[in-house]
Structure formats: C-alpha cells, structure tokens
Amino acid sequence: MSSKPNVLVFFTDQQRWDTVGVHGNGLDVTPNFDRLAKAGCFVPNSFTAQPVCGPARSIFQTGRYPTATGCYRNDIPLPDGEQTLAHYFGAAGYDTAYIGKWHLAEGEPVQKPQQGGYKYWLASNILEFTSWPYQTTLYDSDGNPHDLPGYRVDALTDAAIRYLAEPRDDPFFMFLSFLEPHHQNQHDSYPAPVGYEERLAARAVSYPPDLGTLGGTTKEHYHGYMGMVARLDEALGRVVDALISLDQLDNTIILFTSDHGCHFKTRNSEYKRSCHEASIRVPTMFHGPGFDKQTPITRNCSLADLPPTLLDAAGIEVPQSMQGHSLLQPMDGANDIFIQISESQVGRALRHGQWKYCVSADHLNPFEHAGSDRYRETHLYDLDSDPWELTNLVASADHKDVRASLAARLTARMVEVGELPPRIEPLKEA
C-alpha cells in the first residue's frame, strides 16, 4: 500500500443540497452518502462558485474563477497552459484518471491536448449529447468510442471499478464525473432507472418549501430526479465496496460533491443559472485519511475551496494561482461565498452571514460578456428569517444600509479574484 493516500472525486451534476438525508430529505435515498458523511467530514454549507456546468468544472479542475481562466460560460475549452488537478497530482507521483463528463473541450471526442493532463481517459465532452439513460458512449484517450451497457450511472461506475481493480504501484487520483441527476436535454426529462420514479412518487413526502410554493416543473420532474439521486447513491456504495475488497478504503480520500443545484424552473426559464440556494447549494462530504473526525466542517465552502483542500490533504503544495482556501487550514477574515453567474445573465452574488445579495448587468448579452463595469441590484434575502428565499427585500427602504454594506463587500470580492471594481446601482426603493 502506498504511503500516499489515494484520492477519488465522486462528482454529480445538478444535484441540490437537500437531496440527501443528512440535510433532512425524507425520501431516504442516500444511505451511503449519509453514512460516509457521518463517519468522515460532512460539509453542510457548501456552494458552487458558478451555477453552470462548464464554468463550474473549470473551477474544480484549476482552482481559479471563470473570469480568471476565460471559461465563463459553456463551450469554452480550458486554455492551453492551464494547470489542472491532474497536473498537480501527476507531478506528485499519482496515476491520474478521468471518467465521465468533461465539458471543457471543443468537439467530440476530446483530443489529447484538451484532456486536462489526465493519464487514463474514458470520457465524453458533453455526455448528455453522446448518451441516453440506457445507452452510454465514452471515448478513450485516442478517441476510440466505447459503448458501455447498463443504466448510465452504472456504466460509469463499472468503468471506475475496472480502473480501481487494475494493479498499480502508485497511488491514484480518479475523477468520476456523472451526468445524473441532470435532465436529459433533448427531452427535458429526468429519466430515472426503470421503476424508481414510480416507487418514490408513491411515498407521502412533501416537496422542499421553495418548490412546493413556487411550483415550476416540480410535480412533473421531482420524483424522477430523486430516482436518479437514489441510483447515484447506490453507485457510491458500489465504489466503496470495491475499495473495501481491494483493501484501499482506509487509504482513499473520497470527496462527493456536485457542480450546482436545481430549481426546477422556479427562478428562471430553466434549472440553474441563478443566485438562489436551490441553484448554488450542493451536497458535499469527505471521507478517508485526514477526514475521519466525525465532525462537520461548518464554515462556508466554495467550489473553489475544494481543489486546494484535496492537494493539501494529499500533502501536495497548493499553488498560489488557486483562488480558494483549503478547508484543512484556518481562514482569516470573513467566510463569504462569491458567485459568478453567466448565460442567463451577467450576474454576481454574495452570501454573507444571514444575507444573500445579487446584482446583474442585464444590459449585456450574457453569452458574449464575462463581466461588466456596471451592475444593478436585483435580489436581497434574509436567510435567517427566509431560508427558502421567498421574499425579495431588494427594494426595501429599511434595508438600504444593508445593501450598501453588501455592495462594498461584493465589489471587494470581485477585485480579489481579478475583476475590475464595478459601479453597483441601487434599486429604486419601494
């Protein structure tokens, strides 16, 4: 057994934080996540830094915000020369592997220069367009297609277990990137494994309050979505079983997280790309060496914090280019969450203490502009009294000073990650 810990990232797509039992979900579909979170380190306050697939993945691979890498929207490949987790782990003697959805290249299959430095490669750039629930095609590092049998979650899990079972002298860093519980784009559907949606719909469990109040496509899609979450949790259990059988569980750091959440068309015309908790808050937990404290990491965690945390946990020096902070190190100052939003809007948001504050440059085309020198206020929520964000206080005269303070904090965070200081125009008060 290597003296260095293995590292395995179990990465889902579009999974809300409140889909798991430790966050209070009553459908009881995540026993494996819940067990590992309780035995390791649960991260209850975990948020994406960009609620769009490609930009979120660029953050995770590089530890840098989309405005720093240029990957501010989907379909912008990682620039040549960007260092990824694969480069850092590979330089430290790790065997690196990527399986599943990539979304950081151009074209299909992904060519070697755009494979992020991973040694083992079995992936698709945009998996939702090369696969269906029961028909999965991935490409190896030479571009050869591989048709994998079974439900898509199981097809990727089978491939991951085959990789884990290969004999090796070096520790591994494996990034296992699922599509589920993301919708199937072509049909605007959430295709759970056969029978799962019906089984969950038969249970008398209420919807989360934001979805129950605002509706959207919740009644049509929620139980299919949760059926996909259930199969993902079963896959997590299978991966853990494989590690146990290989006598590697106690030497493997497991990180489970997601790129962003899902608001079921309650906040805009699709499922994400907004500042709301449903869009930005995700389930996150660590298990394994260095994370066996059985104590939650309660501070706010950004997606940008996860790459330096993994390097830190593996004893690898965290590069200064990374813009997040390792969760294993003390943090000075305020623990705000900063969010960049694209495609639906050129937006920025700040989660500070009890407040959520959002601004938008809605005079700009969000597919053509990464940022702006001018924004207007759009949302203010008091998360203590209104955790489901049902009352927008942005036009409240009683909160003028709060908005001014948050505008200054948001501007400072934008400058900190390399953006120019903007002008934020207050909304006319009611």
CATH label of the domain that carries residue 251? 3.40.720.10
- Inside any domain, residue 337: no
One domain, residues 32 and 118: yes
Domain assignment of residue 322, yes or no: no
pLDDT, tens digit, for every residue of 200-253? Answer: 999 878 899 999 999 999 999 999 999 999 999 999 999 999 999 999 999 999
- Domain hosting 354: range is 345-425
List the alpha helices (DSSP H) in 292-381: 306-313
**Percentage of residues in the chain having pLDDT higher than 90:** 94
Judge if 165 and 98 occupy the same domain. yes
Q: Is residue 334 part of a domain?
A: no
Instruction: Return the H-helix or E-strand segment holding 7.
Output: strand 6-12
If one counts the domains in the chain, the total is 2
In degrees and rounded to multiples of 5, residue 294 shows phi and psi of 55, 30
Task: Determine, yes or no, domain membership for 308.
Answer: yes
Output the CA torsion sign for 203, 26, 152, 189.
Answer: positive
Q: Max alpha carbon distance in the chain (Å)?
A: 67
Lowest mean pLDDT among 132-146, 157-171, 292-306, 387-401: 292-306
- The answer as to whether 327 is a domain residue is no
Mean pLDDT of the chain: 96
Task: Based on the fold, state whether residues 14 and 75 are members of the same structural domain.
Answer: yes
Confidence label for 335 from pLDDT (cuts 50, 70 and 90): confident
Distance CA 121, CA 140 (A): 5
Q: Which helix (H) or strand (E) holds 222?
A: helix 218-245
With respect to residue 292, please indicate whether it lies within any of the assigned structural domains.
yes
pLDDT-derived band at 2, boundaries 50, 70, 90: low
Quick check: is 358 in a domain?
A: yes
